[in-house]
Chains A and B, each alone.
Chain A
Amino acid sequence: MNQPLPISELGTNAVDVDIRNVDLSYGTNHVLKGINLHIRPGEFFAFLGPSGCGKTTLLRLIAGFNQTDGGEVLVGGRDVSRLPPWKRDVGMVFQSYALWPHMTVRRNVAFGLEERKVSRAEIERRVAAALELVGLAHLADRRPSQLSGGQQQRVAVARTIAIEPKVLLLDEPLSNLDAKMRVQVRRELRDLQQRLGLTTIFVTHDQEEANTICDRIAVMNDGIVQQVGTPMELYEKPANLFVANFLGTANILPGRVVREGGERFFDIDGGVRLPIPAQVVVPEGAKLVFRPQHASLAGHGAGDVLLPGTIVHSEFLGSTLRYVVRIGAAEVSIDTPFHSGETLHQPGTSVEISLSLRSALWLAA
């Protein structure tokens, strides 16, 4: 997969995908609730969420395997929501790869072109190019059952890009690979997508996968898009508690806002009070959210408030020390860098937590 790109006509006319007010129910089960998304031309976009959140349903809806109850899907400005799957020009790589066992690799890759009545010479050229692109030209006459999982995955990709689709859909393409292959293949996928410049949608439940290869991510839960943004935006500025929790470790302190003498305070459940800086907006029913690295044990970092707590667990993680500390009724994780010669505080020790309120967030559910 490291050879230069043999054909590049694909990248030049990348299209956008516009999902407008899409609704879908299975009986009484409302799977997609008013989805609105705009995926830019040439973008590597992820649908990220826990299983059952509707991400695969949405992907299959773009491919035409599910019909919308309401709303439309536009590919390159054209409404495709009433077209059958075989007229959509939206290439999909299936989670199981769905390689046909009765055909060789070459025949698998040629299939879509044959269905499009492409000339024999052209088919040969494009099959060769697609296999070259994924580095499998030498295995063209094997059967899928004779290939490794990673090779099968590449054949599935080659078969899809051979038809030069307008959009590439990847349904958890890494889930059937072992951990080591996963890292390698996801880099290859990113590399390939960059060279083709093809608008690509990637479905996954693994935040690390999404973070490492996607330009932007739509975090989904319960049939609703929770937030859209770059991986960094989502991590730094999660829109709600679900997103904060789903992406990385988040400490959540429940409590309520009280006013005394023109000043606002946050009473953490369990009896700890901290002042709220004047300029900060706190939404109704919000909780205080911060990442483990945004707090430290007093004397180790430059926080702006101090919270009393008790150590519950202490773990040595190599470069960092992680303490689980009880503050009021809640437990939070705190990471501090490990310095040579330091010793761990034992559980039961009373400590003070230094929290950087500038980095903390006030999020409602």
Chain B
Amino acid sequence: MAGATTAGRAHAPSVSSRFMRLSATPGQIALALGITVFLVLFLIVPVGTVIYVAFTEKGTGEFTLVNFLDFARTDLFIRSFWNSVYVSAMSVVVASIFALPLAYITTRFEFRGAMLIQTLGFLPLIMPPFVGAVAMLLLFGRNGTVNLLLDEWFGIKIPFMEGLNGVIFVQAVHYFPFILINLSTALRNIDRSMEEAAQNLGSSGFRLFRRIVFPLAMPGYIAGASLVFVKVFDDLATPLLLNVKDMLAPQAYLRVTSIGIADPMGYVISVVLICMSILAMWISARAMRGKDYATVQRGGGGLAKRTMRPWESALAYAAVLLILLLVLAPHIGLLLLSFATIWSFSPLPDAFTLAHYGRVFGESFVYVKNTLLYASIAGLIDVVLGTAIAYLVLRTKLIGREWLDWAATAALAIPGVVLGIGYLRTFYGVQLPDGTPLATLWITIVLALAIRRLPYALRACYAALQQISVSLEEAAENLGATKMRTVRRVVLPLMAGGILAGFVTSFATAAVELSATLMLVQSNADAPLAYGLYVFMQSAAGRGPGAALGVIAVLLVALCTFASHMIIEKSQRAKGASR
């Protein structure tokens, strides 16, 4: 993300300076104002409120640091903070253990199934981690499949899922693809001559890897690792489902929901969460800055791939198989669970049934309907805003237009739970004419989802617009089209592929988002799928239907991800052909 952002900025002046437009048209100014109002209302004010509350005295509204002192003096919070840091750091370590061999084997060797691994690696992304958590409990818990078998065969049990271990394990399995993708890309971008030059000067084997290959791939690794750190640090539902309460994000949620929205501690924790997010993103940006190590020359190709010796091959396949089994465990577990009658204290379910699916399609279908509605509207808002911001930044000389981009991108640093708390606090006081608070309406959930996903959609729109040469627009204007008509007849059709991809990305990720919405759902009738899942998964009896719902969610998101992939491919092919 950081790389794309800087690339976007670097490109913008050269494009716009080619053709100095005198000033913005009234339409552009109105558009910019509209976007500003939206971002202020739904991002800046809620987050500002959270920060304001954290730094002011309850009741009087005077500036104070007492709340932070309280935070530092409360044993539970300090323990939660360190637990969160520990869990996030360990998740990065464990995720690296999964990702490193996969990335190395698939990029360095002629390895059959390399494509399969790269594709399977995306699977965990299309399921919220908390959904997998229950399946992981059944497979790896104290009385789960693996430990029952280990106990029977060797008389031992391994505490995979005890306390913080469980959170680390689930998060690592879920988020390791971020590291895998970034690291693989970095490795593939190293030119072969970098390695050959080292060999030519007398280096080989592990020394060569340590001194040349790894340092060159390092920025990619850090980008992936810091992303995993932030995601784990901000995640709310996974620890809650695993009954781990002494972590920061769950504490923020519990304070606000159990003690009330007036209690300042939830806000203090939110500020801490924001700071940690910004810190991790800053580290990532620092790692990437000035180190664009993509060294592939024209026609050069990445690192030399070599064929493995038989024993290496056997070892590689064994490692890959083991890791893939682990990664797929939540999915396999979820699928089993969704068809299981009873699954407890046994390696496999006792019997199988379709009843859970029946139940889900009957009474719980409202979740699916809500999700489709919310995610679609959120995706739509995102691409409209994304396209408008991209156009204003790249194609106009409007003063302060970069601020729109920065503000929209800043949403990246705001954890979902913080946004949820901000919305509750800000919009609870705003009442509709009939007296219902704004915060209780389902549209609030949609707005929160839209803000959360806006940075990603914005990047997609940005990239789409950047690929369009300004001369295409100038030609339209030269032939008599107004700016408005140029946008409609030339810019939008050319951007269509990118916009659609942005929409699908927003839609798919919004469909399984929970951390912001958990706080905002007021009634079951308004709840999205992820919320329904969470409610189901909390009780033993609800696990079956919950799993069935989870499978539906996975299929839904998988379908969208696949569609998005196809759309991008197709539009790239079409553009390539017309050039």
Identify the A interface with B (CB < 8 A).
Answer: 63-65, 84-88, 90-92, 94-96, 98-102, 111-112, 115-116, 145, 159-160, 163
A116 — which chain B residues lie within 8 A by C-beta? 202
- Residue from the list B200, B202, B211 in contact with A63, Cβ < 8 A: B200
Given A98-B194, A102-B291, are A91 and B201 neighbors across the interface (CB < 8 Å)?
A: yes
A115 — which chain B residues lie within 8 A by C-beta? 198, 201-203, 207
Residue B297 interfacial (CB < 8 Å):
yes
Residue B193 interfacial (CB < 8 Å):
yes
A86 and B215 form a contact (CB under 8 A): no
27 interchain pairs (CB within 8 A)? Answer: A64-B199, A64-B200, A85-B200, A85-B204, A86-B203, A86-B204, A87-B202, A92-B196, A92-B197, A94-B197, A95-B193, A96-B191, A98-B191, A98-B193, A98-B196, A100-B194, A100-B197, A102-B215, A102-B216, A102-B291, A111-B201, A115-B198, A115-B203, A116-B202, A159-B201, A160-B201, A163-B201
Central interface residue in A63, A85, A98, A111, by most chain B CB within 10 Å: A98
Please give the number of chain B residues whose Cβ is less than 8 angstroms from any Cβ of chain A in the complex. 24
- Chain B 197-224 residues near chain A, CB threshold 8 A: 197-204, 207, 211-212, 215-216, 218
A112 — which chain B residues lie within 8 A by C-beta? 201-203
Sample of 13 further A-B pairs with CB below 8 A, known A98-B191, A102-B293: A63-B196, A84-B199, A86-B199, A92-B196, A98-B196, A99-B197, A100-B197, A100-B212, A100-B215, A100-B216, A102-B215, A115-B202, A163-B201
B199 and A96 form a contact (CB under 8 A): no
- A117 CA to B323 CA, complexed, in Å: 38
A63 — which chain B residues lie within 8 A by C-beta? 196, 200
Contact flags (1/0) for B288-317 with A, using CB distance below 8 Å? 001101010100100000000000000000
- Residue from the list A91, A99, A100, A101 in contact with B200, Cβ < 8 A: A91
B203 — which chain A residues lie within 8 A by C-beta? 86, 111-112, 115
Task: In the A-B complex, list the 6 residue pairs whose CB atoms are closest, starting with the nearest.
Answer: A112-B201, A98-B193, A98-B197, A85-B199, A115-B202, A86-B204
B194 — which chain A residues lie within 8 A by C-beta? 98, 100
- A80 CA to B123 CA, complexed, in Å: 48
- A94 CA to B200 CA, complexed, in Å: 10
B297 and A96 form a contact (CB under 8 A): yes
Task: Give, as a whole number of angstroms, the nearest-CB distance from A81 to chain B.
Answer: 16
Task: Give, as a whole number of angstroms, the nearest-CB distance from A127 to chain B.
Answer: 13
B293 — which chain A residues lie within 8 A by C-beta? 101-102
Given A100-B212, A101-B293, A101-B295, are A94 and B193 neighbors across the interface (CB < 8 Å)?
A: yes
Closest to B194 in A: A98
- A284 CA to B89 CA, complexed, in Å: 79
B204 — which chain A residues lie within 8 A by C-beta? 84-86
Task: Give, as a whole number of angstroms, the nearest-CB distance from B213 to chain A.
Answer: 10
- A232 CA to B87 CA, complexed, in Å: 74
Task: Give, as a whole number of angstroms, the nearest-CB distance from A14 to chain B.
Answer: 19
- A92 CA to B194 CA, complexed, in Å: 12
Closest to B200 in A: A92
Closest to B296 in A: A96
A94 — which chain B residues lie within 8 A by C-beta? 193, 196-197
A92 — which chain B residues lie within 8 A by C-beta? 196-197, 200
B200 and A90 form a contact (CB under 8 A): yes
A111 and B198 form a contact (CB under 8 A): yes
A85 and B196 form a contact (CB under 8 A): yes
Central interface residue in B193, B216, B218, B300, by most chain A CB within 10 Å: B193
- A91 CA to B211 CA, complexed, in Å: 19
- A84 CA to B196 CA, complexed, in Å: 11
- A91 CA to B201 CA, complexed, in Å: 7
Task: Give, as a whole number of angstroms, the nearest-CB distance from A242 to chain B.
Answer: 25
Task: Give, as a whole number of angstroms, the nearest-CB distance from B95 to chain A.
Answer: 24
- A19 CA to B290 CA, complexed, in Å: 44
B197 — which chain A residues lie within 8 A by C-beta? 92, 94, 98-100, 159
Closest to B293 in A: A101
- A116 CA to B204 CA, complexed, in Å: 11
Closest to A115 in B: B202
Central interface residue in B199, B202, B203, B207, by most chain A CB within 10 Å: B202
Contact flags (1/0) for B162-201 with A, using CB distance below 8 Å? 0000000000000000000000000000010110111111
- Chain B 212-262 residues near chain A, CB threshold 8 A: 212, 215-216, 218
- A84 CA to B208 CA, complexed, in Å: 14
B297 and A101 form a contact (CB under 8 A): no
Closest to A146 in B: B290
A65 — which chain B residues lie within 8 A by C-beta? 196, 199
Task: Give, as a whole number of angstroms, the nearest-CB distance from A361 to chain B.
Answer: 37
- A85 CA to B203 CA, complexed, in Å: 9
B216 — which chain A residues lie within 8 A by C-beta? 100-102
- A91 CA to B295 CA, complexed, in Å: 21
B291 — which chain A residues lie within 8 A by C-beta? 101-102
B191 and A163 form a contact (CB under 8 A): no
Closest to A90 in B: B200
B207 — which chain A residues lie within 8 A by C-beta? 115
Task: Give, as a whole number of angstroms, the nearest-CB distance from B552 to chain A.
Answer: 47
A64 — which chain B residues lie within 8 A by C-beta? 199-200
A86 and B200 form a contact (CB under 8 A): yes
Closest to B294 in A: A101
Task: Give, as a whole number of angstroms, the nearest-CB distance from B88 to chain A.
Answer: 27
A163 and B202 form a contact (CB under 8 A): yes
Task: Give, as a whole number of angstroms, the nearest-CB distance from B9 to chain A.
Answer: 19
- A99 CA to B199 CA, complexed, in Å: 13
- A87 CA to B203 CA, complexed, in Å: 9
- A86 CA to B211 CA, complexed, in Å: 15
Task: Give, as a whole number of angstroms, the nearest-CB distance from A53 to chain B.
Answer: 17
- A96 CA to B294 CA, complexed, in Å: 13
- A91 CA to B200 CA, complexed, in Å: 6
Task: Give, as a whole number of angstroms, the nearest-CB distance from B137 to chain A.
Answer: 43
Task: Give, as a whole number of angstroms, the nearest-CB distance from B301 to chain A.
Answer: 12
Task: Give, as a whole number of angstroms, the nearest-CB distance from A144 to chain B.
Answer: 10
Task: Give, as a whole number of angstroms, the nearest-CB distance from A215 to chain B.
Answer: 24
- A160 CA to B202 CA, complexed, in Å: 11
A86 — which chain B residues lie within 8 A by C-beta? 199-204
Central interface residue in A63, A115, A163, by most chain B CB within 10 Å: A115
- A40 CA to B215 CA, complexed, in Å: 40
Closest to A111 in B: B201
- A84 CA to B306 CA, complexed, in Å: 14
B200 and A96 form a contact (CB under 8 A): no
A90 — which chain B residues lie within 8 A by C-beta? 200
Closest to A117 in B: B202
Central interface residue in B199, B204, B212, B295, by most chain A CB within 10 Å: B199
- A205 CA to B203 CA, complexed, in Å: 30
Closest to B204 in A: A86
B297 — which chain A residues lie within 8 A by C-beta? 95-96
- A87 CA to B207 CA, complexed, in Å: 14
- Chain B 512-529 residues near chain A, CB threshold 8 A: none
Central interface residue in B197, B207, B293, by most chain A CB within 10 Å: B197
- A84 CA to B198 CA, complexed, in Å: 12
B198 — which chain A residues lie within 8 A by C-beta? 100, 111, 115
Task: Give, as a whole number of angstroms, the nearest-CB distance from A360 to chain B.
Answer: 41
